[in-house]
Amino acid sequence: GFLDRIAWMKAAAAERPWMDLTRVGIYGGSAGGQNAMRALIEHGDFYRAAAADCGCHDNRMDKIWWNEQWMGWPVDEAYERSSNVAHAAKMQGKLFLSVGEMDSNVDPASTMQVAAALVKADKDFELLIMPGSNHGAGEKPYASRRRMDFFVRHLMGREPRWQP
């Protein structure tokens, strides 16, 4: 859906001169977290920043019953192609990863694996681990503020006003 979303935003911006397509960010949680990071892997020329919360960054390590519904069985090359871990070196732009330490839906190891791949590829990113938090930790007030601070810094080019 990225190509459709990009085409829609370009069409909308053609009629709305106030839209600045040089400062497009994306965020999501769970599978949306996987997709937010994927935007920087596949379309880093368009998306400048992404926040990925509790992402299932490699479907080979996520709960297989969920992935089987959408990707089929047995595990084949499609799983490798969709892995953010396998393609982390292709990432462009700014990335904010957040994860709940006690996530019972997507194993926090998924975020740690993609972080390790980013370190190996010498890619800069921010990582927030929310102690004692479960799935969706990025929506807690502290993590939500940190995500907004991230976007203000990287899309607006300034420090957030609410920071000292």
Report whether 96 contacts 128 (CB < 8 A).
yes
pLDDT in tens, 17-61: 999 999 999 999 999 999 999 999 999 999 999 999 999 999 777
- Segment 79-94, tens digit of pLDDT: 788 899 999 999 999 9
- Cα→Cα distances 40→4, 99, 152, Å: 16, 18, 17
Q: What does pTM read for this prediction?
A: 0.91
Percent of all residues in the chain with a pLDDT value above 70, rounded to a whole number: 90
Q: What percentage of the chain has pLDDT greater than the value 90?
A: 79
Q: Helix 31-42 to helix 2-15 angle, to the nearest 10 degrees?
A: 70
Least Cα distance to 24 among 157, 155, 159 occurs for 155
For 25, list phi and psi in degrees, rounded to 5: -120, 165
